[in-house]
Chains A and B, each alone.
Chain A
Amino acid sequence: MLHTASIPDHAPPGRLGDWNFLVGRWRVRHRKLAERLVGSTYWMEFDGECSCWMALGDGVNIDDHFIDQPTGSYRASTIRVFDPKRAAWDIYWIDSRGPPAVMARPISGGFEGKIGRLFADDEWQGRPIRTRFLWFSDDPEHCRWEQAFSPDAGKTWETNWEMRLERAS
């Protein structure tokens, strides 16, 4: 379990404009844990590309990823929808490997300064887990993302995927 003890286990409110830093084209360096929630320490590293734009005025943010994973390249897309009533962003993920659906349970949250925290109650291989996304908008040319799963309702977290993004244009 990695370096995340100091991260609060609740989502800050979201605001319109939270994803403005991400709009554009990016080169991505992925670091992905080979297996999840089994104590794996083997990380795959590989490249990817991402482009990101706003939709629905400024209420939706969309990105489109090419992920050149050595075990098989694929594409994926994120749809982030702002709900003004809850002051929250809901993040949905579409994967070219299926299923052909917008997932039912989005990951929800917002930003506190340059750090975004978003959470969901989910399942991993039949086990209930809590999922956390962290975003770090470091500077206009660089940002980072981490995905972590918690098998114990947020007591411990295993980070299983990191992306480092460098602006391409």
Chain B
Amino acid sequence: MKGPLHQTAPGERDEPDIDRRALLAAIAATALATASAQSFAMARPPLPTGRITDFDFLHGHWKVKHRALIQQRWQEFEGEVTSRPLLAGQTNIDDNIWTLNGKTSRGLAVRIFDPKSSRWSIFWLDDRAPEKFGPPAVGGFTGNKGTFYGDEEYQGKPVRVRLSWFIDGTDRARWEQAYFFDSEATWRPNWLWFFDRTASI
């Protein structure tokens, strides 16, 4: 392979145009590294912290409208969630059910608060793979917005995941899951949940 630097004969001083080419290559490499560092920073910002009361708003029964990106098409469907506190509020568990194209699925979200780091770890398990919990998404709420980051697998490849919560008053909330795509340096949402409270618990 012949790069610009290899065109200089041993013992010969660099020609100015070769210098320039080397400089351009160095600039290009730096730009790539900067883009990749920016991409990395977007995918892995500092993990938000929160409080043990962050999910108190969620305790109760909810109807959920789902919008999910499935094979590059957005599909809408419905579900229900019941969320309960455990461990005197240090943990909470959501019991989810949804029906998509006539097929009913169920999933469990388990959230555990770590008083040492002031962060929640969110674990997910569903009836497609009940043999294990996935790796956690970690974070917390600032005001009415909660943000949690984690690593998952998508189509056999590791992917950075972001879970966002938005509290819209006492009886409404939204949740969004997004994956980070390095090639575009972008978070792309792929699953939205719109919550309407049906009963308290």
Interface, chain A (partner B; CB < 8 A): 55-57, 59-60, 62, 64, 66, 75-77, 79, 81-86, 90, 92, 94, 96, 98-102
Contact = CB atoms under 8 A, between A and B. Distances in A.
A101 B117 CA distance: 13
Contacts of B95: 55-56, 60
Residue among A59, A81, A83, A102 with the most chain B CB within 10 A?
Answer: A102
B127 A59 contact: yes
Given A55-B108, A100-B114, A101-B136, A83 B131 contact: yes
Contacts of B120: 100
A94 B127 contact: no
Contact of B123 (A82, A86, A102): A102
Contact of B90 (A55, A60, A62, A75): A75
Given A55-B95, A60-B108, A102-B133, A96 B90 contact: yes
B87 A96 contact: yes
A55 B92 CA distance: 13
Contacts of A99: 114
B87 A59 contact: no
A14 to B, nearest CB: 12
A98 to B, nearest CB: 7
